[in-house]
Amino acid sequence: MPEQVHFVHKPDFRLLRKRLCMAAVIGTLFLGSTSRAAEPLETVPFGGKDFTVTETEEGEKLLSWGQLEITRNWFISSGGVFEVQGEQVAVFYSGNGGNACGPKTILATVDQAGRLKTASPPGDCGDPSPAISESAVYFIPWLIPGESQTAYRWSPYDGMLPAGTLSYTPVPGTGWADLATANVTQPMDILGYEEIYKEAQGLLGDDLEDYAIGLAVASEPEKTPDGLLAGSGCIPHACGGGDALIVADAANRKLYLAQQDGDGYRAWPDISAWPEAARQKLALIDR
Tell me what pLDDT residue 277 has.
95
pTM of this prediction? 0.76
Nearest 5°: phi and psi at 63? Answer: -100, 125
CA dist 24 and 132 (Å) reads 34
Question: Are residues 64 and 106 in contact, defined by beta-carbon separation less than 8 angstroms?
Answer: no
What are the per-10-residue average pLDDT scores of the chain (287 residues)? 57 45 40 52 97 95 97 96 98 82 93 96 88 97 95 97 97 97 96 98 97 95 93 91 97 97 95 96 91
Q: How many CA atoms lie within 13 A of 46 on its CB side?
A: 28
- Total residues found in the chain within this entry: 287
Question: Are residues 113 and 36 in contact, defined by beta-carbon separation less than 8 angstroms?
Answer: no
Tell me what pLDDT residue 7 has.
53
Closest CA to 66 of 37, 45, 93, 83: 45
Structure letter (DSSP) for residue 171: B
CA dist 266 and 264 (Å) reads 7
- In the chain, ranges of CATH 3.40.1420.10 domains: 176-285
Q: Given 1.10.357.10, 3.30.70.360, 3.40.50.620, 3.40.1420.10, which CATH number is that of 176-285? A: 3.40.1420.10
Count of C-beta atoms within a 10 Å radius of residue 113: 5
